[in-house]
Amino acid sequence: MIDRRALGVILAGAGLAGCTATAQPPGMVPPVPQGSIGAAPSRLRLQAIQGGAFLMQTAQLGATKAQRADLRRFAPFEVSEQQGLVQAFGLLGEAVPPPPPPAEKAAMLQQLQAASGMQFDQLFVAAQVQGHQEALTTYLAMAEDSAAPAADRAIALLAVDRIREHLTYLQASTQGRRLRR
């Protein structure tokens, strides 16, 4: 039996992505492949959760430590986005804690915790850009993976545009202007 909340995620993703153009009679819901809801998380889902945890942790630091007001405003939006993705994936089955960060990400988090002022802002933007680039790669792969559960693909389709928006914002915040106090 399909969890109604998960079905909502699937339908919202399909509708927003323009995927409803398939030949289905009005009011018919396309069948969900067995095992796609509540199945063990895929490698891509685990990768997305791990990357999201890094983005959320860095954004939590940015919300309080960023010197620039625009970065302090951006950070809570990123935290909220990552919490939403965790909740959406949680609707699909058991909540999965993120795998521990790779050594490189753990070192970046330590650098951010130790930094302050303009140095923090520069490290924060660099960490967010790198994390969003990696997230874009992961979510694009998930969206294009025909073997991935439909619900994962729907979440990925919705996430990709938001990731692109954040990358554009972050890259624009460093181009043509110096990180200043």
* Domain limits, the chain: 43-174
Residue 1 has pLDDT above 80, yes or no: no
For residue 179, CA distances in Å to 89, 92, 122, 134, 173 come to: 35, 41, 7, 23, 8
Can you give the pLDDT at residue 17? Answer: 37
**What's the CATH number for 43-174?**
1.20.1260.10
Asked if 41 and 96 count as a contact pair (C-beta separation under 8 A), the reply is yes
Span 17-53, pLDDT tens digits: 333 333 333 333 333 333 344 556 788 999 999 999 9
Can you give the pLDDT at residue 42? Answer: 85
Among 66-70, 133-137, 168-172, 174-178, the range scoring the smallest mean pLDDT is: 174-178
Among 8-12, 57-61, 82-86, the range scoring the smallest mean pLDDT is: 8-12
For residue 24, CA distances in Å to 6, 11, 140, 149 come to: 20, 13, 26, 19
Per-residue pLDDT, averaged over 148-165, amounts to: 95
